[in-house]
Structure formats: structure tokens, C-alpha cells
Amino acid sequence: MQTDHSTTSHGHEGFPWKHVIGFILSLILTVAALWIVVSLSLSVTLTITFILILAIFQVLVQLLFFMHITEHEGAYQIIAIFFGIFLAAVFVYGSIWIIY
């Protein structure tokens, strides 16, 4: 089962644009979140909603640009991750709903 080493790198040559764009996006999202909290005087609910939306985009950047989540045939890992996210949402939202 020896793969030809000279050809496996095909399609991964050159400048890593995907990573650089992902990095720039993640920096913009981080600074934007801080800016919303420090400079905009929105209501607490609105501020938290906005920074949570930015966090979700930040996670998508990591998953798509850095972790190659859609990679490989079938990509069953997407199901595993989204099941994890679903349970996480149930635990977090459920706890908050019970307490507050």
C-alpha cells in the first residue's frame, strides 16, 4: 500500500491562501467582539447576542479553514461534531433555563 510520494502533494502546492484568509478573518472577528463590548454601549442582551454570533463565525472559520472538516469522502466527522454541538446546546441552554 505504498502511495506515490511525488504526487500526493498535488493540489497543496504554493502559498497557503486558505490559512492566511482564515487567520485574518479570525483576527477581525476577535477585534470586532472586543470593540462591541468596549466601544458600543448597547444593552447587555444585545451585546451578548452579537458577541455570541461572532463566536459562532469564529468557530466556523476554524472548522472550515484550519480543520478541513468537510474533507474526505463521506465526511462522517461532521455528524460526530454536530451531535456534540447539539448535546452541548441542550446542556447549556437547559441549565440556564432551569436556573434563571
- Applying CB under 8 A, among 32, 49, 62, 70 the residue interacting with other proteins is 62
DSSP the chain: ----HHHHTTT--S--HHHHHHHHHHHHHHHHHHHHHHT----HHHHHHHHHHHHHHHHHHIIIIIS-TT-SSS-THHHHHHHHHHHHHHHHHHHHHHH-
Q: Does the footprint of other proteins cover residue 77 (CB under 8 A)? A: yes
- Applying CB under 8 A, among 32, 39, 70, 85 the residue interacting with other proteins is 85
For residue 51, give the amino acid letter. I
Q: Does the footprint of other proteins cover residue 12 (CB under 8 A)? A: yes
Maximum CA pair distance of the chain? 61
Residues touching other proteins, count (CB under 8 A): 55
Q: Give the residues lining the site for other proteins (CB under 8 A).
A: 1-5, 7-13, 16, 19, 22-23, 26-27, 30, 33-34, 37-38, 44, 47-48, 51-52, 54-55, 58-59, 62-63, 65-67, 72-73, 76-77, 80-81, 83-85, 87-89, 91-92, 94-96, 99
